[in-house]
Amino acid sequence: GLSVGGAAAHLLVSGGVTVERAGQVGLLWLGVVFYGAATLLSGLQHLLVPDRIADSIGWARGSGFQIELGWAEAGVGVAGLLSLWLGVPYVIGPCLAGAIFYLGAAIGHARDIAKGNRHPGTAGPVFYIDILAPAVTIVAILMAHPWRTAA
């Protein structure tokens, strides 16, 4: 929500709105806020409080998977934050990597839900965000026409 709201405010303040500009600004906000800051914070939670996160997802405590997931999210998060300085077309990379990661997570959550896992970190808002964010990202990429500005 913050990414979409921030992008909308950014467009209103900056003047001239075109489909391409809306896509570019949307991608920057997604890259910095969602795939950047939010994903980095999520990764840090997997690294620093893995048992609490495991409980919220309905996973076993003490899995080394938490560490791997935490570092993967931290990497995507740092790459997303770099979008603030590097802009389009750079932001496409972290946004695509993040979108693929979150869609994969949605598939994993769907499988867990089908097995009866109804924990908030699996069947709650996280599941829907894991689907919605990549969908918005794909639309923003198509709107931004990044292939026009690629080096």
The mean pLDDT value of the chain amounts to 88
Model's pTM, two decimal places?
0.85
pLDDT of residue 83: 93
pLDDT of residue 73: 96
- Average pLDDT, integer, range 73-97: 94
pLDDT at 8: 65
Write out pLDDT tens, residues 108-138: 999 999 999 999 888 889 999 999 999 999 9
With a cut of 90, say whether residue 26 has pLDDT above it: no
pLDDT for position 62: 87
Helix axes 65-86, 92-114, angle to 10 degrees: 150
Tens-digit pLDDT profile for residues 96-108: 999 999 999 999 9
Give the number of other Cβ atoms within 10 Å of residue 5's Cβ: 11
